[in-house]
Amino acid sequence: MPRNGEHRRAELVTSLAAVRARIARACDEAGRDPRDVTVVAVTKTYPASDIATLAGLGVLDIGENKDQEARAKIVDLAAFELPEPVRWHIVGQVQTNKARSVASYAHAVHSLDRPKLAAALDAAVTAAGRREPLGVFIQVSLDGDPQRGGVPIDRFVPLADLVGSATGLALLGVMAVPPLGADPARAFAQLAELSVRLRAEHPQASAISAGMSDDLEAAVRAGATHVRVGTALLGRRSPVFG
């Protein structure tokens, strides 16, 4: 491995240990098992070499905001020997015209927020010839701001029922980003309440995608099963993707 590769691996080893320690402390406070929390490494703008290194460290859940970047990295990863295939999570907003592409490789979409996208992804799963349904989280807008994505709370249940009836989709749970300026703990507590409502009708949909680099502890204490970590894990290096 070249010297700069060794240096980068050391950086990632250190940052991953710090993230896992933060999760462990939050789990201890909440009486949870850290093994129940999945770290989704959000690698947007960072190279495939970082993904390969993370995979070697046991981080196989990789998050991307954009389909185009994810597909480019899938190609680039062919040059690396991975211990196991990575699981791709789309954490950014998905345009309906990207549904077929996303369905061809994604393990999960964390940002399903409208019936039109649900229909497009469901159809895309069939068109892609997938053997397994595409996992989806329903993104909820906790403040109703349409600019940040998410279904308004008053439309949450109908959308969940629609997704639950789609043969090509597996309803995993809920996702949210705290409103700007809001207390993350209160926002995640509200999301946890919505998760309880969801599980009443869809018991299998027990996952909660919540928390990022700055607020993952509050999310874990509120029951997050998936934390989407970018900066705390990958740092602020000069990115290679714009």
pTM: 0.95
Task: Report whether 39 contacts 59 (CB < 8 A).
Answer: yes
- For the cut 90, the answer to whether the pLDDT of residue 145 exceeds it is no
Total domains in the chain come to 1
The SS3 assignment for 199 reads helix
H-type alpha helices, the chain:
3-30, 48-56, 67-76, 99-103, 115-128, 156-164, 184-201, 216-221, 231-234
Tell me, what amino acid is at 157? V
Domain that holds residue 167: 3-234
Q: Which pLDDT belongs to residue 80?
A: 97
- For the cut 50, the answer to whether the pLDDT of residue 12 exceeds it is yes
Task: Report whether 121 contacts 100 (CB < 8 A).
Answer: no
The SS3 assignment for 24 reads helix
* CATH number of the domain encompassing residue 92: 3.20.20.10
- 205-219: burial string, b at 16+ Cβ within 10 Å, e else: bebbbbbbbebbbbb
Residues of the chain with pLDDT > 70: what percent? Answer: 96
DSSP at 58: T
Q: Which pLDDT belongs to residue 108?
A: 98
Domain-embedded: residue 120: yes
Distance CA 176, CA 192 (A): 10
At 2, the pLDDT band (50, 70, 90 cuts) reads very low
Proportion of the chain in helix, strand, coil states, percent, rounded to 5: 50, 15, 35
Long-range contacts of 7-11 (CB under 8 A, 24+ apart): 8/49, 8/50, 8/53, 9/53, 11/235
- For the cut 50, the answer to whether the pLDDT of residue 1 exceeds it is no
At 236, the pLDDT band (50, 70, 90 cuts) reads confident
Convert the pLDDT of each residue in 57-88 to its tens digit: 999 999 999 999 999 999 999 999 999 999 99
Residues of the chain with pLDDT > 90: what percent? Answer: 92
Residues in contact with 50: Cβ distance below 8 Å, sequence separation at least 6, in sequence order: 8, 12, 43, 234
At 197, the pLDDT band (50, 70, 90 cuts) reads very high
Q: Could you tell me which residues are beta bridge partners of residue 64?
A: 90
Helix axes 3-30, 48-56, angle to 10 degrees: 60
